[in-house]
Amino acid sequence: MAIRCPHCGSPVRVRGSRWECGWCGDFGALSSLSPSERAKLNDTGRVTVTITVTVPDDEAPKEFTQAELEAMVRRWDFTENEDAIRDLLLAAFPEAVSYVEADNLGAEDLLGAIYEKNPDLAVEMWRKVLDEAQEHLQEPERAEYLLCDLMGDVWYGSISLWFMLKAMKQDEASARQVFGSAYVGYPQEELLKACDDSGELELKARLTLLLEKNPHFNGFD
């Protein structure tokens, strides 16, 4: 709504606390305007200014190849990408995004969410991380993360652990990774219970033998 010059009636330009008429050249303080014209000052709309900032190339988010992400996990070096494990899973298993909104999830939540909808895929994804981080399975703290924390939603969930057992039944290397690691605790105990529940006594015997050979095993609490 235009504010008009009290002299000629033309629209005026407001500059700070003053007004100026471009037609007749009259000007003055805003207080010199009539009450009806001053009221229009409160009705003028706000102007939104959008600023586009150009980010230098060296500051732009960097995309990593699958090979680079695998190397980060093998080195256990996440200084360049703290979500390297999650990003590796998405790079190696692009079909995962059809099950969940993955971008906002960490690796732990991603695997838990996938396990609920496609357990076989989730186990395959987990095994991919274990394969790349193989050496770190003999480091207690990192082994605890890889076995217990990374699949935490699964251990404490309501879905059967049979899908994990199936992988270990089919692949001895997978069984050795879990039952021969430097971390022994809840995951192994729950898997042995799952063997009982599913009648897999032969598999339980094989897994128990691996556990008994593990120097880090001191019994379950």
Residue 50 inside a domain? The answer is no
Vertex 191: Cα angle to 110 and 84 (nearest 5): 25
Same domain, 70 and 39: no
Locus of tokens 């150009």: 54
Q: How much of the chain is in helix, strand and coil states, percent to nearest 5?
A: 60, 5, 35
Same domain, 81 and 21: no
Same domain, 156 and 73: yes
For 57-88, write each residue's pLDDT tens digit: 555 668 899 999 999 999 999 999 999 999 99
Cα distance between residue 125 and residue 129, in whole Å: 7
Same domain, 99 and 140: yes
Residue 6 inside a domain? The answer is no
Residue 143 inside a domain? The answer is yes
Q: Print burial letters for 77-94: b (CB count within 10 Å at least 16), e (below 16).
A: eeeebebbbbbbbbbbbe
On the CB side of 197, CA atoms within 13 Å amount to 11
For 158-182, write each residue's pLDDT tens digit: 889 999 999 999 999 999 999 999 9
Domain span including residue 165: 66-212
Number of structural domains (the chain) is 2
Assess whether pLDDT exceeds 50 at residue 54: no
Using alpha carbons, select from 213, 123, 209 the residue that is nearest to residue 168: 123
Residue 156 inside a domain? The answer is yes
pLDDT for 45 equals 42
Using alpha carbons, select from 209, 162, 211, 168 the residue that is nearest to residue 189: 211
Same domain, 173 and 90: yes
Cα distance between residue 145 and residue 107, in whole Å: 11
Residue 61 inside a domain? The answer is no
- Could you tell me if 121 and 81 are in contact, meaning their C-beta atoms sit under 8 angstroms apart? no
